[in-house]
Amino acid sequence: MSVKITYFVHGTTTDNEKDLSSGWNDVELSELGRRQSEELADKTSQYNFDVVFTSDLSRAYNSAKITWRDKYEIIQDSRLRECNYGDLNSKPSDEVEPLQEQSTTTPMPNGESYEQVKARIANFLDDLKKNYDGKHIAIVAHKAPQLALDVLLKNMSWEQAFANDWRKTKNWQPGWEYTLN
């Protein structure tokens, strides 16, 4: 059997609107982010999830809560957090983003690497496989966990995952599908 995963990114935050990369800083959704989360409910009405997982950062949890209200159980999991940019949390995106692709194995200053994020996500996936085999789950989280899923479940290299990232290609969609075998 397998676990079907539909991945969603949180709505726009106040940091996003200021072109800041939040990392582990816990920032709120902006008005736009709340509206995006409300609109996502209609765009995902065809889905029926067994459970929704979010990171423990409020922007992800609140996105899920606004989108599905009490329709699904929502479980927060810190392993789904964004990459810890360390000294660069909530710094300008034009400073942080170029360093992301250089931080696949070398951690951000006083933060973590994308390989460390991948290890967190692999651990999370191990638990999913044990506890949710045959189920359809949703995840609401951030950029780094989504790229880690591309590496782990779609056999992409980090270079491919970064190059194909919807944020670069401007190809947002209301959910990305993954299968955990």
> Active-site residues: which are they?
10, 82
**Cβ atoms of residues 52 and 10 within 8 Å:** no
Dist. CA 94–CA 81, nearest whole Å: 21
Q: Across the strands, what pairs with 139?
A: 7, 53
DSSP state of 25: S
Which is it for strands 51-54 and 136-141: parallel, antiparallel or unpaired?
A: parallel
**Residue 106 CB: number of other CB atoms within 10 A?**
11
